[in-house]
Amino acid sequence: MANTERASAPSLATVTIAFVLVSGLIGLASAYEVISDRARAFEQASLTRAVETRVKGAQVALAQALYREWSSLTSVRRSARPDEAARIKDQLSTLTGEGTIISWAGFANSEGRVGAASNDLLLGADVSSRPWFQRGLQGDYAGDVHEAVLLASKLPPAADGRPPSFLDLATPIAAPDGTIAGVLGLHLNSDWAQRLVGELADAMNLELFIVNPQGKAVLASDGGNYADLDIPSFRMARAGATGVNVETWPDGKLYFTATVPELAYRGLPKFGWNIIARIDADAVIQPAKAMSKEVLFNLFMFGMLLVLLTLLFIVAFIRPFRALARNARAIAQGEDVYPFESGRTAELSTIGAALARLQGLARDPSEDDDGFEESRQRRA
């Protein structure tokens, strides 16, 4: 029974390698989890900073591009004389050029009658009901994207067949007596604005959406139609708030988004927009996955090295104990064997010397003291 129990007990080598393997697995798993979490957190923080920085760059670039056109309009205003319609017409025609950026420019008197226009388009037309004229009488004005009304039949349609659409800029012209003599207005081609947003998005390696106060994306770098989406970025845009989010869009994908208001740039009147930028969350997930695989491989190699070192440790320091145990059993059974000797560790040396001493005493009882002799006789 005792022999069976001793035979079924695990060896010291087995216990040692089991302990090392279990401890190593727990340690490596914990290290992998901690490193992976830190890596994901770092990637997310980096991408958050990146999307914030890029959207602010796009914000400034868009404002600068619009300000150039506004600056051209105010330049005409400074030199315009309400009674010099021909001169105003020439200036506006020069300003319009080929129409790729500015589709139409005109001057309407205080009653809303167009007295001068680029290429004489809408000359003599009544624009008193148009928002750009009404708001222009009150001061500098920037109007959101809208489809052409009076110019719909006078300008070619957009490339996709849609009616032309514009952004409005308007500013009042004062008469010599200080009263408002009329309004100068520009219709910026929305296709140009769409191209501008797309080019900025490509340069910044993200997607951009220009959202009006009603929550509609009037310009989108991907050309999509987004209106009143119930996601955090659009809710923030409708509220005019600023922030960064991780959210799922209608396409089912996860994105990092940043929302910022329209930039107040020099004297440019505001359109009332907010700008949303988004980056596909795969930009975080893929590098994190690659890093996780690399970390996993390195941890695996470390585990293999740990196993190899454990085996070497067992061969060098554990197996001698096994040999010592066999030697002790042989001595206990009365076999005439040479005592095991090892200087690998102090314990092995001490136990080996003790076994040799006991073996010697068993062979020569005269070397034993009285107490040992008495004890031996009792055992006999």
Domain count, the chain: 2
Q: Domain ends where: 186, 221, 242?
A: 186
- Residue 136 CA to residue 232 CA, distance in Å, equals 34
Give the pLDDT of residue 4: 45
The average pLDDT across 242-261 equals 93
pLDDT tens sequence across 31-68: 878 877 877 777 777 778 888 899 999 999 999 999 99
Q: Which of 170, 186, 202 is the last residue of a domain?
A: 186
Q: Are 261 and 279 in contact (CB under 8 A)?
A: no
Is the pLDDT confidence value at 372 over 50?
no
- Mean of pLDDT over the chain: 86
pLDDT, tens only, 306-337: 889 988 888 888 888 888 888 888 877 777 77
Of 186, 218, 242, the residue at which a domain comes to its end is 186
Question: Is 130 contained in some domain?
Answer: yes
Sequential DSSP letters for 281-350: THHHHHHHHHHHHHHHHHHHHHHHHHHHHHHHHIIIIIHHHHHHHHHHHHHHTT---PPP---SSHHHHH
- 355, part of any domain: yes
Same domain, 110 and 13: no
Helices (H) and strands (E) in the chain — how many of each?
10, 10
pLDDT at 226 over 90: yes
* Mean pLDDT computed over 255-270: 93
Residue 287 pLDDT > 80, yes or no?
A: no
CA 103 to chain centre: 39
Model pLDDT, residue 285: 65
CA neighbor of 244 nearest in space, from 50, 36, 39: 50
Q: Report the CATH number at residue 121.
A: 3.30.450.20
- pTM listed for this prediction: 0.72
Contacts of 362 (CB under 8 A, 6+ apart): 331
Query: Would you say residue 137 lies in a domain?
Result: yes
User: What's the average model confidence in pLDDT over 240-245?
Assistant: 92
Q: pLDDT at position 335, please?
A: 75
* Residues 90, 161 share a domain: yes
Do the domain assignments include residue 261? Answer: no
Phi, psi of 255 (to 5 degrees): -135, 150
Q: Does a structural domain hold residue 10?
A: yes
- Residue 5 above 60 pLDDT? no
2 pLDDT above the threshold of 50: no
Contact 187, 103 (CB under 8 A): yes
Do residues 12 and 96 both lie within one domain?
no
Any idea which of 33-37, 69-73, 142-146 has the lowest mean pLDDT? 33-37
For residue 125, tell me if it sits in a domain.
yes
Average pLDDT over residues 291-315: 84
- pLDDT of 7 reads 52
pLDDT confidence of 290, banded at 50, 70, 90? low
How confident is the model at residue 368, as a pLDDT?
Answer: 46
Domain that residue 90 falls in: 80-186
Query: Do 86 and 178 share a domain, yes or no?
Result: yes
Residues forming beta bridges with residue 210, ordered by sequence position: 219, 275
- Band (pLDDT 50/70/90 cuts) for residue 284 is low
Cβ-contact 148, 164 below 8 angstroms: yes
- Give the 3-state secondary structure percentages of the chain, helix then strand then coil, rounded to 5: 55, 20, 30
- d(CA 124, CA 376) in angstroms, rounded, equals 136
pLDDT tens digit string along 163-175?
899 999 999 999 8
| Domain membership flag for residue 175 | yes
Q: What pLDDT band is residue 114 in, cutting at 50, 70 and 90?
A: very high
In a domain, 117, yes or no: yes
| Report for 39-43, 83-87, 143-147: range of highest mean pLDDT | 143-147
Instruction: Please indicate, yes or no, whether residues 92 and 182 belong to a single structural domain of this protein.
Output: yes
